[in-house]
């Protein structure tokens, strides 16, 4: 069939389903904001782990991280008639909300804590967002975002705790299944946990493709470890403070759904911690070996490979010795550049 004809038909169907015949301009461009990202084999990491390692390159999303999948999906469902959106973020959820809002022609206000580096503020402003700095950590910024939603009538965009986000994030696993082809399935999935949205989204995706028996290694840094604290305590725990430099993992309390999944017998979720030094070392090694710069939040997951943690989990019998391919979610992040990396090196290596 002529591809041009099928494109017009798809667009027409999309418009009819969403807006009638006169939808906004963004509807005619594509029916989602995220890209289908590459799935790359890492020779260096495969050597370390002893099985094929696949990298799902979410760093290459237009907003710099996986967040655009869920936030783009949520915005398409909730933002159509909005005066504007407001999102509280360590940085990347805000980047995704600002990107989606710009594409939809809607104003965006992003509230970040003072711990977010200046380069994040600049990048958010470059996306056309109004940036407000409130409080020390994400939880403080979130209180302000909720207040603005109430008083200014803005649509609140949650960064990690909403079923539409999880549904949107789930698309990354559907893509992995398509890339790997029939009959190939990961031996384990490795990812980072902040507020737990990525974890819930990956589980949603695993459910969608029938892979719920695949174990998940859920990584956090010490000092941004709200999921690990909840798993250990057997209940939701609110951390006193965020002391890790992985600020984008810095929610004080993990979302309820992520905790519920950790208690679910049908899923295997292994919660582990690395130090900031290990996360930073992983960021540097990844830059050298894969030629890609990611932020500390992502380094936490990569450190599980570079620090030998995956091998240890195999030795301890928590992961099988003959492990199938390891799927690493390279969640990305915009809170990093060479200057920020140098600052972190000085701060953490002295």
Which parts of this chain interact with ligand PLV (CB under 6 A)? 65, 89-93, 138, 159-160, 192-199, 248-251, 295, 297-298, 331-333
- Find out whether 309 and 316 touch, Cβ atoms under 8 Å: no
Closest by alpha carbon to 18, among 79, 103, 96? Answer: 79
> Cβ of residue 331: shortest distance to ligand PLV, in angstroms?
4
> Cβ of residue 298: shortest distance to ligand PLV, in angstroms?
5
- Find out whether 301 and 163 touch, Cβ atoms under 8 Å: no
Give the nearer residue to ligand PLV in terms of CB position, either 276 or 323: 276
> Cβ of residue 159: shortest distance to ligand PLV, in angstroms?
4
Give the nearer residue to ligand PLV in terms of CB position, either 205 or 250: 250
Give the nearer residue to ligand PLV in terms of CB position, either 52 or 306: 306
Structure tokens at 48: 């370390």
**Calpha distance 284→266 (Å, rounded):** 36
Residue 8: count of CB within 10 angstroms of its CB: 11
Task: Tell how strand 155-156 and strand 326-330 pair up.
Answer: unpaired
> Cβ of residue 148: shortest distance to ligand PLV, in angstroms?
16
- Find out whether 46 and 52 touch, Cβ atoms under 8 Å: yes
Give the nearer residue to ligand PLV in terms of CB position, either 111 or 323: 111
In degrees and rounded to multiples of 5, residue 112 shows phi and psi of -120, 150
**Calpha distance 199→138 (Å, rounded):** 18
Q: How many residues does the chain have?
A: 350
Give the nearer residue to ligand PLV in terms of CB position, either 93 or 273: 93
Give the nearer residue to ligand PLV in terms of CB position, either 33 or 51: 33
**Calpha distance 79→290 (Å, rounded):** 37
**Calpha distance 196→187 (Å, rounded):** 21
> Cβ of residue 6: shortest distance to ligand PLV, in angstroms?
35
DSSP 334: S
> Cβ of residue 17: shortest distance to ligand PLV, in angstroms?
28
> Cβ of residue 270: shortest distance to ligand PLV, in angstroms?
16
Give the nearer residue to ligand PLV in terms of CB position, either 198 or 214: 198
């Amino acid at each position: 069939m002529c591809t041009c004809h099928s494109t017009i038909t798809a667009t027409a169907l999309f418009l009819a389903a969403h807006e009638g015949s006169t939808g906004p301009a963004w509807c005619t461009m594509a029916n989602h904001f995220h890209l289908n990202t590459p799935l790359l084999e890492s020779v260096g990491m495969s050597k370390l782990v002893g099985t094929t390692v696949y990298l799902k390159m979410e760093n290459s999303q237009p907003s710099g991280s996986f967040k655009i999948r869920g936030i783009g999906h949520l915005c398409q469902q909730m933002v159509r008639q909005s005066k504007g959106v407001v999102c509280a973020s360590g940085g990347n959820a805000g980047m995704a909300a600002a990107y989606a809002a710009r594409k939809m022609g809607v104003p965006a206000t992003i509230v970040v804590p003072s711990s977010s580096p200046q380069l994040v503020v600049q990048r958010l402003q470059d996306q056309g967002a109004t940036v407000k700095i409130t409080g020390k950590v994400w939880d403080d910024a979130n209180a302000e975002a909720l207040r603005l939603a109430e008083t200014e009538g803005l649509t609140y965009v949650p960064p990690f705790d909403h079923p539409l986000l999880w549904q949107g994030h789930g698309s990354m696993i559907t893509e992995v299944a398509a890339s790997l082809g029939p009959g190939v399935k990961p031996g384990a999935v490795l990812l980072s946990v902040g507020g737990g949205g990525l974890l819930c989204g990956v589980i949603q995706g695993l459910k969608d493709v029938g892979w719920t028996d695949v174990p998940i290694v859920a990584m956090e840094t010490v000092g941004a470890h709200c999921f690990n604290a909840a798993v250990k305590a057997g209940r939701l725990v609110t951390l006193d403070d965020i002391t890790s430099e992985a600020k984008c993992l810095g929610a004080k309390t993990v979302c309820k759904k992520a905790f519920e999944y950790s208690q679910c017998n049908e899923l295997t979720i292994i919660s582990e911690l690395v130090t900031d030094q290990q996360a930073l070392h992983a960021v540097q090694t990844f830059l050298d070996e894969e030629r890609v710069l990611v932020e500390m939040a992502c380094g936490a997951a990569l450190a599980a490979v570079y620090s030998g943690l995956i091998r240890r989990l195999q030795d301890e019998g928590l992961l099988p010795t003959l492990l199938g391919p390891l799927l690493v979610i390279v969640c990305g992040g915009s809170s990093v550049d060479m200057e920020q990396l140098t600052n972190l090196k000085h701060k953490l290596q002295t």
